[in-house]
Amino acid sequence: MRRELISEMIMEVYGPRPKKTSDLLDSEEEILKIPDPTEIVDYDPLREYITGAIIPAKCKNTFFMEENDTKSEISESESSDEIKMPSLGVELDPKLRPQSFGISFISNSENPEIELCATWARYSKKGDKWIRKPEIIPIKTIFEPGTKQIYEENDGNISLHFKRLKRGNKYILIIHMLNNLNSRPDCYGDELTACTIFQPSLRINLKEDEFSNMDFGKIMDSEEDRTLNYLYRDKKVLARGHMCSTVWKDIDPVKTMSGGYIEPEILWIDGVHFKETGKIDEETYLKFMAPTLRTDFVPVFSIPAPLFDWPEEYNDLKPELSAEKLSEMWDINEIDSCLEPLKKSYGRWITKNESEFSNDNENTDIVGKIIENQKKCLERLETGINLLKTDENARLAFCFANKVINLQYEWSSPAKEFKWRPFQLAFFLTNLESVYNENSKYRDMVDLMWVPTGGGKTEAYLALIAFLIASRRRKGIVDDEPTVGAGTSVLIRYTLRLLTIQQFRRTLKMVTLAEYLRIMENSCSRGWKPKKCSIESSWIYGSPKFSIGMWVGGAVTPNKICDSIDALERKNSNGDPAQVTTCPICGTPLAVNKGVSEFKLVLTFKNPNNDGVVDNSISKLNKYLIPNSKDGFVKKISKITDENFVILDMDLYFQDELKEEDFGKIRKAVSGMELLCSDVSRPGYFINGGTKNRKDFEIYCPNPGCNLNNNVDFKEGVPYNFENSETSGDGLYMPGADRYAFYGNRMPIPAYTVDDQVYHRCPTVLVCTVDKFAQLAFEPRSAAIFGNVKNYSVDYGYYRSEVPKNSAKNWNNPKNNVEVDPFRPPELIIQDELHLIEGPIGSMYGLYENAIDSLIKSGNIMPKYIVSTATIKNADYQIKQLYSRNYFQFPPYGSTIDDSFFVRSLDKKYIWNEDKAGRVYLGIYAPSMGPHTPNIRIVSRLISSVNFRKNYQKYINFKTLVWYFNAIRELGSGRALYREDIIEHLKNSFNMPNWEPENSVELSSITDSLEIPTLLTGLENEGNSSCPSENKDVMFTTSMFGTGVDISHLSTILVGGQPKTTSQYIQATGRVGRSVGGLSLVFLRAGRPRDLSHYELFPAYHQRIYLDVEPCSVSPYSKGCMDKAMGPVLVSYLRNKHNSHVEWDGTDGKVILKNGAEDDYEEFISCLSSKTIKPENWSEFENHIKSQWETWHNYAEGLSKEELVFNEKYNPKKSPEKNVVLGTSAHEYKGKKIVFKKAPYSLRDVEESIILGV
């Protein structure tokens, strides 16, 4: 199907078109439409074919284009300097079609012998019809600079221009085809069409030793550049286009006896025509059909998904990849049989590489480093396996992690078991020892997982997280310090809101299953373990529960519990705590938001012990939601009752989309019963008073059939000894039933979505946005994240010295509080999508990382950093700037970029296979046009081509078009274009009068956070739809789509303009084609030099795409960055550190004057100076910190009679009244004393602010 979509797109934008036939296909039998070489059409070809038209050189008229089209292009430009240039050549004039096109390549000789074939077509008008006439000129000549006429008649000539440039001992040869047909300078309309040449092609044959690789003069200064250039040595770039693209024989998609993909009739209909008419013979045709080099106006290039499976040549040494079987692996001999083959096979592969490298005497430094890294990886792999053999607790944690990952998969797909991709298991084993052993020599090294998009990085680091949280608990129990193993163990950070929320939900499933295994009952202990494991303990993984928290901005979820309760009860509140919208185990909705049309609603009521009351509510539900009404109806309703509860399980359907007033109808219908969840729209959220002093909420799956509500006996241990509480056996106590919405037979979903909960519940895993780092200076309660707690309150939870006002009544009552030992700080920090940590926010991130790293070290822990990305360049520099550490890349490079053992490129003979995941990229460049007309034509053709193939098996994969934009402004223009012009074009040109523009969806930064999960879930479910024709037609999206979205059936994307970076391009296009071969169309904008460059080098760029990833730019130790945030970074450390000499967590900013304060400052300096890698400007950095300290100290001394507080909360109704350490523009405006001006409240506060008075 993909091949036919490509063929029809080429005919649509380049021409010629096939003869008129019915487009509708009734079966999946391939019906290839062949272009008509002598077509007769009733439209103007110059207006119809948007690329591959060469106008006469004498024509300077631009009025033939639609005026609004070019204006649209200019007004939507991302960068004004790309359009408003002092002067433009013909090639970059967005209002003029090209007058020539050509190809350049590098030759080893000055005058090579070349065979060249030029073809083109012209259209002549007879009556109201345009008739196509093709031409062909084969040439065999010695290359000499000059001009050669290939057509010369009374109406002018068409010529080839040959140019040669010397470059070292080689030559750049350039061949241009110029249209010199007669025309007036101001010609337009039919006159211009008649003297334009269409569908031109230059095809060149050279001897193999006559041409050479083009390196485009790239500077290879760094070791990384030289290494990458060496690894890509087999991916040669042999030509570039000029106002067109180029293709060479090795990558030509034309279908031949030896391979290829696209029919010759599509790519060179004129050659086929002249062979059939006898103007050229079979030999000439075959020679030029797939020549050495050729021009191409609609370039096509295939990038199949890499192979992650086990290499066939090592099948004699295949490790155990089943997570279920690995979870039961216990005996030493089992470890050997399951894991040793992985080590031995990788060792054999290294030996093979050494053999291949042995004859390379020119690159000994590069190949030596490659082999060194491979051997280091092998050593770490062996160390991880040996750890499992020698340490039972590490082995148990490894088995636990495998069980969690397998259960996560098994409960989603009951008929299947999870099998590791070899790289996932190898990464897991490689990092085991450094995660487990605090004194490991690799503990202070950043491990970078570099795997292409869609490879499965998340599962690899989720396994490490499960391993750490289990092993940390085991260490605490073995050391008789159970609470030390609790607290926040893992920090996972993201830059974008969508990514944070999406990954929070993915990680939640793993943590929920870890908690499920923690409470599992065995014969004489609590907690899952392998059948052969003999470890005994009352609680194998401790009685404190495994949990996960989300630490994000207040616009997403409220920061306070009281605001969260208001939101759950549907009162006014900013943000919504109901971020967990479906049960991570069974998928039952926990929160239902407007915008859905069909959903399940499971409501829990207190049993009224009166069947009449229940039946009356059911009757009212059917009354208010009348079947087949335009409002909606109950498709099915069932009643489940027990001694305490009544559960109504409903399947609801709404004709339009669910609205807020629909919830009102449901509330009214069930008002006669006591609803236990917070609201009918929040069926999984239960407000639990716990005690009269404090409210909180818990999350439960309301579905009685969920695994979390069957055969479980939930209990957790806390430090407080409640009246009649049960002891846990590990020194803690079990709260009674009055502390929970449900008790015992239902397991709560262990998620915390509010800042207050994060601070007082200390979740095991914390998922956060990086911009939240700035809160460390303003919120001393965040010390709890780093294990810095001293007390436990029955009403509030864990805290350090005091609870914020209004958090709980009588919080300081000794009867309600107990002292506790601090938790260990987080031991594992994961930064996903490392390539996004760049620019101003990346620089601020790097500066605040000094505080985070030092805070963890103040708790006597060396944190382990793991980062991952699919696209990165200059990682060494970036990681040193951000983390002051060396790094190790996994997997290490192999002998070529195509083989790193764990990740390998697909064999060339399969790269066009549509059943293989990956993408075919197709480029379209429309000179003289803005985005308006091309987008109408491209989108209309895609939609019609797909929907005329409804009976194709892969129809469901191509049904939804992802339309990607580089800016919100462009997305808005695209939506407007779709609603009007595209719908009209579908009606008039493709006989699709009933196309519904509203069957589309938008995913962008302006999409409401609560709508995103519903939106993505809906799209995911469409992959299994029994009626794919009802799936969404178009998804409008921006860069948000390129981060964290995994909807495997999506297979078509249209990229509207080359993204600013290659990394963005890879990330966005890599979201399609994950289950079958996908199609990525790239519309490159006329008048943009960068877009034109990508077009002219389209195959070259895509063949070496990872080589062209731009290096990330971060400079945390620049003067501007330090001026902006060094003071707040110092405050962040002091207010949250362990074992401080003074009480920095209060409000008094003069605490700096107290005895012992300077000792804490010196500890910070000492911690920074002990880093593995110091900033290059260390002395300047140290002096800058010192100056910030002295500034603060001087202010505090100077305000002896005035108050100085750390910060004053913003109140729009009240002016600032106090002098502050962390100031705002409002304080500055009011003339208050400020130690650190305009302290960032978020890491995104990087721009300067000004004060405006009204």
pLDDT in tens, 1171-1216: 888 888 889 999 999 999 999 999 999 988 889 999 987 777 788 8
Q: Please tell me whether residues 401 and 264 are part of one structural domain.
A: no
pLDDT in tens, 1009-1055: 777 777 888 888 888 888 888 889 999 998 888 877 888 899 999 99
| β-bridge mates for residue 1052, sequence order | 961, 1079
CA 1046 to chain centre: 8
pLDDT in tens, 216-230: 545 556 788 889 889
Q: Which amino acid is at 1116?
A: P
Q: What is the pLDDT of residue 52?
A: 95
Nearest to 179 by CA among 270, 294, 55, 49: 55
Which of 1078, 1108, 1138 is the C-terminal boundary of a domain? 1108
Say if 1113 falls within a structural domain: no
| β-bridge mates for residue 212, sequence order | 106
- Cα torsion angle, 287, 293, 296, 299, sign: positive
pLDDT in tens, 767-781: 999 889 999 999 999
> DSSP secondary structure string, 1110-1133?
PPP---TTSHHHHHHHHHHHHHHH
Q: What is the pLDDT of residue 633?
A: 60
State mean pLDDT over 248-277.
89
Say if 1114 falls within a structural domain: no
Structure tokens at 717: 């241990």
Q: How far apart are CA 140 and CA 554, in angstroms?
A: 71
Cβ count near 1154 (within 10 Å): 14
CA 567 to chain centre: 30
Q: How far apart are CA 453 and CA 1232, in angstroms?
A: 51
Q: How confident is the model at residue 598 (pLDDT cuts 50, 70, 90)?
A: confident
Residue 405 class from Cβ within 10 Å (0-12 exposed, 13-18 middle, 19+ buried)?
buried
Say if 1154 falls within a structural domain: no
Which of 297, 323, 357 is the C-terminal boundary of a domain? 297
Say if 227 falls within a structural domain: yes
Q: Is the pLDDT of residue 626 over 60?
A: no
Instruction: List phi, psi (to 5°) of 743.
Output: -140, 135
pLDDT in tens, 628-638: 445 556 667 88
DSSP 283: H
Is 1145 or 626 the better-scoring residue by pLDDT? 1145
Return the minimum-mean-pLDDT range out of 117-126, 615-624, 801-810, 852-861: 801-810
Buried b (16+ CB within 10 A) or exposed e, 1177-1197: eeeebeebbeebbeebbebbe
Structure tokens at 681: 């729209």
The boundaries of the domain holding residue 121 are: 52-60+96-297
Q: Please tell me whether residues 255 and 172 are part of one structural domain.
A: yes
CB 1059 within 8 A of CB 208: no
Is 727 or 310 the better-scoring residue by pLDDT? 310
Q: Is the pLDDT of residue 549 over 90?
A: yes
Q: Which amino acid is at 1210?
A: Y
Coil, strand, or helix at residue 894? coil
Q: How far apart are CA 264 and CA 299, in angstroms?
A: 14
pTM of the model: 0.91
Structure tokens at 55: 């106008």
Coil, strand, or helix at residue 515? helix
Q: How confident is the model at residue 611 (pLDDT cuts 50, 70, 90)?
A: confident
Q: Please tell me whether residues 267 and 344 are part of one structural domain.
A: no
pLDDT in tens, 50-104: 999 999 998 887 644 444 444 433 333 333 333 333 333 445 566 788 999 999 9
Q: How far apart are CA 148 and CA 146, in angstroms?
A: 7
Half-sphere exposure of 325 (CA within 13 A, CB side): 12
Q: What is the pLDDT of residue 22?
A: 46
Q: Please tell me whether residues 251 and 345 are part of one structural domain.
A: no
> DSSP secondary structure string, 29-95?
S--PPPB-TT-EESS-HHHH--SSEE--TT----TTS-HHHHHHHHHT-S-GGGT--S---GGG-TT
Q: Please tell me whether residues 364 and 226 are part of one structural domain.
A: no
State mean pLDDT over 853-877.
91
Q: How far apart are CA 806 and CA 690, in angstroms?
A: 16
Is 1253 or 128 the better-scoring residue by pLDDT? 128
Q: How far apart are CA 1111 and CA 1109, in angstroms?
A: 7
Q: Is the pLDDT of residue 376 over 50?
A: yes
Q: Please tell me the total count of domains within the chain.
A: 3
Say if 765 falls within a structural domain: no
Q: Please tell me whether residues 263 and 358 are part of one structural domain.
A: no
Say if 694 falls within a structural domain: no
Q: What is the pLDDT of residue 656?
A: 67
Say if 1029 falls within a structural domain: yes
Q: Which amino acid is at 50?
A: I
**How many residues in the chain?**
1254
Q: How far apart are CA 1033 and CA 965, in angstroms?
A: 17
Q: Please tell me whether residues 898 and 962 are part of one structural domain.
A: no
Task: Taking each helix axis as running N to C, give the angle between helix 1157-1169 and helix 1119-1136, from 0 to 180 degrees, rounded to the nearest 10.
Answer: 120
Cβ count near 229 (within 10 Å): 16
Q: Please tell me whether residues 109 and 237 are part of one structural domain.
A: yes
Q: How confident is the model at residue 524 (pLDDT cuts 50, 70, 90)?
A: confident
Q: What is the pLDDT of residue 67?
A: 41
CB 717 within 8 A of CB 766: no
Say if 985 falls within a structural domain: yes
> DSSP secondary structure string, 97-138?
--SEEEEEEEESSSS-EEEEEEEEEEEEEETTEEEEEEEEEE
Residue 372 class from Cβ within 10 Å (0-12 exposed, 13-18 middle, 19+ buried)?
exposed
Coil, strand, or helix at residue 180? strand
Q: How far apart are CA 1170 and CA 1195, in angstroms?
A: 30
Q: Please tell me whether residues 360 and 268 are part of one structural domain.
A: no
Is 790 or 1087 the better-scoring residue by pLDDT? 790
What share of the chain has pLDDT > 70, as a percent? 92
Q: Please tell me whether residues 196 and 119 are part of one structural domain.
A: yes
Is 1083 or 502 the better-scoring residue by pLDDT? 1083
Is 27 or 169 the better-scoring residue by pLDDT? 169
**Average pLDDT along the chain:** 87
Q: How far apart are CA 6 and CA 12, in angstroms?
A: 10
pLDDT in tens, 899-938: 999 999 988 888 899 999 999 999 999 998 888 999 999 9
Give the 3-state secondary structure of 815-881.
Answer: HHEEECCCCCCCCEEEECCHHHCCHHHHHHHHHHHHHHHHHHHCCCCCCEEEEEECCCCCHHHHHHH
Cβ count near 415 (within 10 Å): 5
CATH number for the domain harbouring residue 930: 3.40.50.300
| 3-state class percentages of the chain: helix first, strand second, coil last, to nearest 5 | 35, 20, 45
Q: How confident is the model at residue 525 (pLDDT cuts 50, 70, 90)?
A: confident
Cβ count near 29 (within 10 Å): 7
| β-bridge mates for residue 1204, sequence order | 1219
Q: How far apart are CA 822 and CA 1149, in angstroms?
A: 25
- CA-to-CA dists, residue 341 to 324, 647, 754, 862, 894, angstroms: 18, 52, 46, 32, 19
Q: How far apart are CA 579 and CA 507, in angstroms?
A: 13
Q: How far apart are CA 930 and CA 953, in angstroms?
A: 36
Q: What is the CA radius of gyration of the chain?
A: 34
| β-bridge mates for residue 151, sequence order | 158
Q: What is the pLDDT of residue 689?
A: 59
Q: How confident is the model at residue 985 (pLDDT cuts 50, 70, 90)?
A: very high
Coil, strand, or helix at residue 411? coil
Q: Please tell me whether residues 251 and 310 are part of one structural domain.
A: no
Instruction: List phi, psi (to 5°) of 1251.
Output: -105, 130
CB 213 within 8 A of CB 238: yes
Q: What is the pLDDT of residue 1254?
A: 60
Q: Please tell me whether residues 142 and 214 are part of one structural domain.
A: yes
Nearest to 926 by CA among 331, 65, 63: 65
Return the minimum-mean-pLDDT range out of 425-429, 710-714, 854-858: 710-714
Structure tokens at 305: 């998904």
Q: How far apart are CA 426 and CA 320, in angstroms?
A: 12
Which of 265, 297, 329 is the C-terminal boundary of a domain? 297
Q: How far apart are CA 1251 and CA 1229, in angstroms?
A: 7
